[in-house]
Amino acid sequence: MKYAPAILVGRLTRIAARLRKPGGGSAVPGLVVNTIAPGYLRTTLSGFPRGLVVVTGSSGKSTTTKMLVAILRAHGEAVFTNPSTANISQGLTSALLEQADWRGRVPGDVAVLEMDEGHGARVMEGVDARVVTLTNVMVDQIDRFHDSEMVAGMLAKIASRAHGSVVVNADDAYLERIAGGLGDGVAVRRFGVSPTVLAASPRGLGHTETSPERLDPAAGVVVASVDGASAVLADGGRDVAIGLPARGTHYAVDAAAAYSTARAVLGEQFDPEVAARALSAIPAVFGRGERVTVRGQEVDFVLVQNPASYQLNVDSIAPGTDRILFAIGSDVRDPSYFWPTDASSLGRVSIVSGSKADEAALMLAYDGVEIDRVEHDLGRALDDFLAAPAPTSGVKTIVFSADAMRRTRTHLGLTEAV
Amino acid sequence: MTLTIVSLLPTLQNTNGDAENAAVLAARARWAGLDARVVPVEDAADLPGRVDAVVLGSGSDSSLERSREILLGLHDELRRWGTEGVPILAVGTGWELLSWGIELADGRSVEGLGIMAGRAVPREGRVAGDLVVKASGGLGLLVGFENHARDYVGAEASPVGRVQAGSGNGRGSGQEGVRMGDVIGTHLHGPVLAKNPRLADAMLARACERAGLEYTPGERTHEVDRFAEAARTLQLRAAGVAASADA
Other beta carbons within 10 angstroms of residue B107's beta carbon come to: 7
- Compute the average pLDDT of residues B203-219: 96
pLDDT score of A200: 85
Q: Find how far residue A93's CA is from the centre of its chain.
A: 20
Q: What is the per-residue pLDDT for A144?
A: 52
Report the distance separating Cα B96 and Cα B119, nearest Å: 7
Closest CA to A266 of A127, A165, A124: A165
Q: How many CB pairs under 8 A join A and B?
A: 79
Q: Across residues B109-115, what is the average pLDDT?
A: 95
* Chain B residues close to A361, C-beta within 8 Å: 227, 230-231
For residues A343 and A416, is the Cβ–Cβ distance under 8 A? no
Find the closest chain B residue to A365 by CA distance: B224
Nearest CA in chain A to B23: A366
Q: Does B17 touch chain A (CB under 8 A)?
A: yes
State whether A363 and B191 contact (CB < 8 Å).
yes
- Choose the mutation target among A174, A339, A376 for the interface with B, i.e. most B CBs under 10 Å: A339
- Angle of helix B21-31 relative to helix B197-211, nearest 10 degrees? 70
B126 belongs to an annotated ligand binding site: yes
Chain centre distance of CA B49? 23
Contact criterion met (CB below 8 Å) for A131 and A264 = yes
DSSP class of residue B73 equals T
What residue of B is the nearest CA neighbor of A374?
B227
Asked if the model's pLDDT at residue B127 lies above 90, the reply is yes
Q: Would an 8 Å CB–CB cutoff place B139 in contact with chain A?
A: no
Residues of the domain holding B214: 2-245
**What distance in Å separates the CA atoms of residue B100 and residue B102, rounded to the nearest whole number?**
7
What does the alpha-carbon distance between residue A280 and residue A282 come to, in Å, rounded to a whole number? Answer: 6
Pick the more confident residue, B95 or A99.
Answer: B95
Q: Which of B214, B207, B201, B216 is nearest to B84 (CA)?
A: B207
Cβ distance A139 to B15 less than 8 Å, yes or no, reads yes
Residues of A with CB under 8 A from a CB of B: 139, 142-143, 146-149, 334-340, 358-359, 361-363, 365-366, 368, 371, 374
Inform me whether the C-beta atom of residue B61 falls under 8 Å from chain A C-beta atoms: yes
Mean pLDDT across chain B, nearest whole number? Answer: 94
| CB spacing of B191 vs A362 below 8 angstroms | yes
SS (H, E, C) A88-146: CHHHHHHHHHHHCCCCCCCCCCEEEEECCCCCHHHHCCCCCEEEEEECCCCCCCHHHHC
**A chain contacts of residue B61, beta-carbon cutoff 8 Å:** 147, 149
**A362·B190 Cβ contact <8 A:** no
Contact B191 A374 (CB under 8 A): no
Lowest mean pLDDT among A203-217, B105-119, B155-169, B174-188: A203-217
Judging contacts by C-beta atoms under 8 Å, the chain B residues touching residue A371 are 227
pLDDT in the model for residue A417: 42
Q: What percentage of chain A's residues is helix, strand, coil (to nearest 5)?
A: 40, 20, 35
Most confident of A114-118, A137-141, B58-62, B215-219: B215-219
Question: Quick check: B19 contacting A, CB < 8 Å?
Answer: yes
DSSP helix/strand/coil, B50: coil
Could you give the CA distance from residue B22 to residue B12 in angstroms, rounded to a whole number? 15
CATH of the domain at B196: 3.40.50.880
Give residue A190's pLDDT.
97
Domain count for chain B? 1
All residues of chain B having their beta carbon less than 8 Å from the beta carbon of residue A139 are 15
Instruction: Decide if B191 and A149 are in contact by the 8 Å CB cutoff.
Output: no
**Between chains, do B61 and A149 touch, taking CB under 8 Å as contact?**
yes
Report the C-alpha gap between B116 and B96 in whole angstroms: 9
Q: Do A230 and A246 form a contact (C-beta atoms < 8 A)?
A: no
Helix (H, G, I), strand (E, B) or coil at A242: strand
A142, A339, A358 member nearest B191 (Cβ): A339
Query: What residues of chain A lie within 8 A of the CB of B166, using their CB?
Result: none
Chain B residues with beta carbon closer than 8 angstroms to that of A337: 15-17, 190
The 10s digit of each residue's pLDDT in B70-88 is 999 999 999 999 999 999 9
The rounded distance, in Å, linking the Cα atoms of B108 and B95 is 18
- Active-site annotation of B, residues: 189
Please state the ipTM of this predicted complex: 0.96
Question: Are the Cβ atoms of B24 and A142 closer than 8 angstroms?
Answer: no
Q: Give the one of B17, B149, B228 whose C-beta lies nearest to A337's C-beta.
A: B17
Which residue segments constitute the domains of chain A, with CATH numbers given? 4-280 (3.40.1190.10), 288-412 (3.90.190.20)
- Say how many C-beta atoms besides its own lie within 10 A of residue B126's C-beta: 12
One-letter amino acid at B185 equals G
Residues found in chain B? 247
C-beta separation of A265 from A189 below 8 A: no
* Contact assignment for A340 to B17 by CB distance below 8 Å: yes
List chain A pLDDT tens, one digit each, 418 residues: 577 777 777 777 777 776 666 555 567 777 777 777 677 788 888 888 999 999 999 888 989 999 999 999 999 999 999 876 666 677 777 777 777 777 767 788 999 999 988 888 888 888 889 999 999 998 655 445 557 888 899 999 999 999 999 999 999 999 999 999 998 889 999 999 999 999 988 778 888 889 999 999 999 999 999 987 899 999 988 999 999 988 788 899 999 999 999 999 999 999 999 999 999 998 876 666 667 888 888 898 888 888 877 888 888 787 788 899 999 998 888 899 899 899 999 999 999 999 999 999 999 999 999 999 999 999 999 999 999 998 887 789 999 998 999 899 899 988 654 3
Q: How far apart are CA A312 and CA A200, in angstroms?
A: 12
* CA-to-CA dists, residue B73 to A146, B46, B82, B220, angstroms: 28, 11, 16, 38
